[in-house]
Amino acid sequence: MKYDVCVIGGCSLDQMFYQRPDLTYDKEANMKVPGGKGANQAVAAARAGAKTTIISKIGKDDIGKNILENLNFNMVNTSNIEMVDGLQNDFSNIYINIKDKDNKIERVSRSNK
């Protein structure tokens, strides 16, 4: 199969935490969003109309399934993604200040080392 775009890169899950006015973070009302530089590039290319695939490695767990579902939903070919038992997926915690929208990102590398 021919592709317009082939991305080699990481896939992860981003968790966003919103800072309350008292400067604490609401850890229960967080939003989980599939992401990662590679996945984001592949989704952007596919949304722009390019026939896109991605080469990556992710853990074979619920997070990995969520990442795959997002890529498939966005019409990215995922046949070149290897799902590995026991491999922990990457994630980022993004802390967002509601008042000024400033943010801090803590990245945890696991599968994309």
Residue-wise over 53-84: b if at least 16 C-beta within 10 A, else e? bbebbbbebebbebbbebbeebebbbeebebe
**Residues with pLDDT less than 50, the chain:** none
- Supply the pLDDT for residue 28: 60
Domains of the chain (ranges; CATH) run 5-108 (3.40.1190.30)
pLDDT of residue 30: 65
pLDDT at residue 23, rounded to an integer: 59
